[in-house]
Structure 1
């Protein structure tokens, strides 16, 4: 992907091994393949491939090195705990990809992955954008050097409040995707960031105004959650925006999932007692001197064990794939990336600022 956009047709995607509908794929551990719709984020771990797709349709995100990886894992465990009674966290679940526990391949049991819902699964031609939200992309524990590094990447983050990290947009006439990476996002200024967002909603013929409107509605719901909670602050976290690029499956027509939904495959069991990643709780991963730390109770799942390398899994994946596919289902917005989430005792004004600016820019698109 290049800063000025790169057109990728079906044949080139197949050669890369990451075309969801193609027959050529790079098969990795336990039948996993590179996730075809990753538009941003770190690439690490097995063959430096980044996010993987499991044969059952979920995606696998490898844990980063401590404290980031364990912090993100325990954030998901806290929010999706079976015994969670915190109404704010229960409400937050709808804005996150579903969490299916952790997973490790049979061939490399020391590699630990988060097993998450593929929110692009129900789309035939998903258009995807990753938008980092907030006035700063470093957390309060970052060293002065790290702060300077992050600020230098996009000095306008403080003023704009969001950064386009990557996008993949389906073009109807060429039956191909145009992609833009974070270098393109960083090239956008106050006067051009709206143009960057417009590119994401344009299919080569026209602006997909229905998608803009529905995504605005979903972002407003997330904003409402942030305005009503004072327990958590999110740094370097993103929104994943998705809408259906194919004009043939909207307005009630039946959509066939790209891959069949099946139950999780079972592998070798994981043991918390033998897993160094599991030893760090969400609370213990925090530095005691954190300026926003407050006595927040972090609930975690008990040490329940099930057979196989997937923990805390008792529901079938893909149950929502066989519904009528109307306009409301033709878009999706989810919060992702939680390696820098910390307790607080006040509203997350940085994230709120970013959401409001993003909403304002999208609303202006509809007025133009």
Structure 2
């Protein structure tokens, strides 16, 4: 690893990886779980301090942090995904989070709990992944003075920039290998260079993936709209997980399906179930949901351009994903989350600037 936080997944690391085989074999015997190969940031704890694990059924397992952080995050997921939930804002929020499948514990350590979550990268062949911490501060209102000073010292520009690149893995199509950047790289970026850091994430060694940037911008805007509509929660030290398909062959296949979808859409809007509608079909949950009193939320005007949005969903949009993650510091509020929205808007501004350049 170099001083700037860059790591090459190349033959130079093969010896180190081979030396770790015995440890991995031991972990594979723990209920079939193995270390999650696509983790780019976050805590290393749980079984043998490996960090996030992958369950044999394809889900991922995030070790529950010590109180109060771990129980708070678990309660957040349980509230959002409660089968009896009638809170419209939380129901809309579900589409921006990994799916939650409850908790899991290894047979030999039944009190060592893990959150069982959707593997957001599972459908990707060569996932390019970035973890971006969002907000003007990464400590919550109840943090001690020492904790606040510690977090500010880690990245003094957090308040001004509003986000921090915690880590990323970028697939290089020419070498057919990954380049990994850790949080040291993210902390080295200033106001004038953070755009370059974002550009690095979308550069596959040959081109800048402008198609992925455009689709990710669309998903981040959807998250921003949710924050603009709610005043009940504030998020601290929470992240966005950005993923796009790095395989050129897979992306070309998606483009081919997009052409077919365009033709199908001209004869009626294709739904997720395969049925067709002659009327516009609204795929945005925030627009198509029913309110608690049974009335329809949103109007015909809200569904403007929904045909184009749905074409993306069926085609190229399969090649990107954006999810909110890390909820150990989510608290009730009585006003808008200006800190998180500031970070989202600044992130969007930088991504849009990359497209203009």
Q: Structure 1 length as normaliser, TM-score? A: 0.77
Instruction: Determine helix, strand or coil for the equivalent of 1:50.
Output: coil
Aligned residue for 1:218? 219
Encode CA deviations 1:136-179: one digit per residue, 9 max, x unaligned.
Answer: 00000000000000000000000000000000000011110000
| Aligned-partner Cα distance in 1 for 2:249–2:355 | 23
Q: Is the 8 A contact 1:10 1:176 kept in 2?
A: no
Matched, 1:352 2:341: yes
| Aligned-partner Cα distance in 1 for 2:354–2:14 | 31
| Aligned-partner Cα distance in 1 for 2:334–2:35 | 39
CA apart distance, 1:14 = 9.5
Larger Rg: 2
Aligned residue for 2:101? 100
Instruction: Determine helix, strand or coil for the equivalent of 2:124.
Output: coil
1:63-212 equivalence runs, <5 A: 63-212=64-213
Work out the number of aligned pairs and report it.
Answer: 296
Q: Is the 8 A contact 1:7 1:179 kept in 2?
A: yes
CA apart distance, 1:45 = 1.8
| Aligned-partner Cα distance in 1 for 2:15–2:320 | 26
CA apart distance, 1:116 = 0.1
Q: Is the 8 A contact 2:254 2:319 kept in 1?
A: no
Aligned residue for 2:324? 335
Instruction: Determine helix, strand or coil for the equivalent of 2:351.
Output: helix
Q: Is the 8 A contact 1:185 1:196 kept in 2?
A: yes
Instruction: Determine helix, strand or coil for the equivalent of 2:207.
Output: coil
Q: Runs of 5+ in structure 1 lacking a partner?
A: 255-323
Q: Is the 8 A contact 2:167 2:181 kept in 1?
A: yes
| Aligned-partner Cα distance in 1 for 2:11–2:57 | 23
Aligned residue for 2:259? none
| Aligned-partner Cα distance in 2 for 1:111–1:161 | 34
| Aligned-partner Cα distance in 1 for 2:68–2:108 | 25
CA apart distance, 1:201 = 0.1
CA apart distance, 1:326 = 3.2
Q: Is the 8 A contact 1:9 1:175 kept in 2?
A: no
| Aligned-partner Cα distance in 2 for 1:14–1:121 | 27
Q: Is the 8 A contact 1:251 1:325 kept in 2?
A: no
CA apart distance, 1:4 = 4.0
CA apart distance, 1:110 = 1.3
Assess, with a 3 A threshold, how the Cα gap between structure 1 residues 327 and 15 changes in structure 2: closer, same or farther: farther
